[in-house]
Amino acid sequence: MASPQNIVNAAALQKDIVDSFSTSVTISSSPQQQFSYMSSSPTNSFMSPTGRRLSTSCAPAKALKPFSTGDVKILLLENVNETAIEILKGQGYQVEFHKTSLPEDELIEKIRDVHAIGIRSKTKLTPKILAEAKNLVTIGCFCIGTNQVDLEYAAEKGIAVFNSPFSNSRSVAELVIAEIICLSRQIGDRSIELHTGTWNKVSARCWEIRGKTLGIIGYGHIGSQLSVLAESMGMQVIYYDVLMIMGLGTAKQVSTLNELLNKSDFVTLHVPEIAETKNMISTEQFNQMKNGSYLINASRGTVIDIPALIHARKTNKIAGAAIDVYPNEPAKNGADLFSNELNTWATELTSLSNIILTPHIGGSTEEAQSAIGVEVSTSLVKYINEGSSVGAVNFPEVSLRSLTLDQDNHVRVLYIHKNVPGVLRTVNEIFAQHNIDKQFSDSRGEIAYLMADISDVDQADRKSLYQQLLQTPFNISTRLLY
């Protein structure tokens, strides 16, 4: 494995390239930005932008060497799992780790120099913060959600954002199963009572879950896993999704949300935070639910109208609810943080019986956090070292197979640009004196990303290539790996 990259300033760049046997360079469109020199690690197989595995040639993959000896700087916040730290340090990157999120002013100070940042759900990467990130190449969200990042602004800056959409699916599904049982048996209330010395052995309005109907709103990775677990425990499963999806086991899709609400004893939400899902369960939807049914939300805090939920519970329209996510959540752990100052209804919600409230722990298991650490950090490494944007949530997904050891004097061009006519003609004219071994380009909205492997490129050619690409009117960010 090659050692990590070095950072040199723009003023010294031309002399360094002429005088040194460089192997990788990142060029920013901003004259104030530094230039990052990247290495690439060999792999045995690659995923195409469509997700299919691409076979490699018989020749061993080529480990691209770094330009010099400095480190790529990575900032990890919010107690990102140790697996991520190990993977990133294993690349030779310089990793700074914090167990919590950072205040905005401190975050702005630190983000100015880093090439990648890893966060979870509490850190908000706004345009104000990202505008200061002069060297930032990529962002890793070590969670499912990415709403804490301004994805459009990041794309405009040429910053690819990666997340972990699958790794904590099982953990969330298991939590929901536990909450279904706890609600049906009023376990939360009995536990609180006994902790205060009250013995209250009752069976009234306590139920088995066998034979009950679970309605799942959003039949994605979590919803489908939950479906299998619930059915194995004797529940009947129905689900509602905006897409037609084949159910697992005997689960059946219903055509409308109201149909699901009418038929379900337990309703659980597993949807993203988008305009269409804001307050998707409010007064009208509670009125459609069965009397004495239960509601569970482990998706996003804005999908339930909490005041409407409070009313539904006070009037016994619903027999209980379990909430793991909230419209506004504390930025750190500590006493007295979940208060009316954060959410005006907090005191009223916490006073209700048979309401399970958990602090956004759906994916908080050792197994899930370890898997997330591996998944996201691997995506960051492949993007930094190889340019692969497969899995990016705000970016065109582009990848090329590895260079091999028998391919000398090759350069991999990573050109992020405005999605306007004439770009490919201009770029290929720049490449005209060299052979284009392979090339792939894709676009997403106003952003496009081109990768190309160019052969017969010496040191002087590399200097000329990146200078010409940098000066094109379409350029957002250009990197050369070699």
Cα separation, 68 vs 8, whole angstroms? 9
Q: Which two tokens stand for residue 255?
A: 């055509």
Identify whether 210 is a catalytic site residue: no
Identify whether 300 is a catalytic site residue: yes
Phi, psi of 197 (to 5 degrees): 90, 5
Q: Which two tokens stand for residue 248?
A: 């697992």
Name the active-site residue from 115, 313, 360, 412: 360
> Are 295 and 270 within 8 A, CB to CB?
no
Task: Give start and end residues of each alpha helix (H) in 20-168.
Answer: 82-90, 104-111, 127-130, 151-156
Phi, psi of 252 (to 5 degrees): -120, 135
Question: What are the C-alpha distances in Å from 233 to residues 101, 170, 332?
Answer: 39, 16, 36
Phi, psi of 253 (to 5 degrees): -85, 140
Q: What is the DSSP letter of 247?
A: P
What type of residue sits at position 441? Answer: S
Name the active-site residue from 329, 401, 434, 444: 329
Name the active-site residue from 115, 170, 190, 300: 300
DSSP, collapsed to helix, strand or coil, labels residue 256 as coil
Task: Give start and end residues of each alpha helix (H) in 274-365.
Answer: 283-288, 306-314, 346-350
DSSP string covering 49-74, please?
A: TTSPEEPPPSSPBP-PPPSSS---EE
Identify whether 329 is a catalytic site residue: yes
Phi-psi region of 292 (alpha: psi -120 to 50; beta: other; left: phi over 0): left
Strand order in the sheet with 447-455: 7-8, 35-36, 24-28, 475-481, 411-418, 447-455, 435-444
How many angstroms separate the first and last alpha carbons of the chain?
A: 15
Nearest to 66 by CA among 26, 94, 27, 114: 26
Cα separation, 117 vs 126, whole angstroms? 13
What lies within 8 Å, CB to CB, of 80 at 6+ separation is 97, 118, 119, 120, 142, 373
Q: Active-site residues: which are they?
A: 300, 329, 360
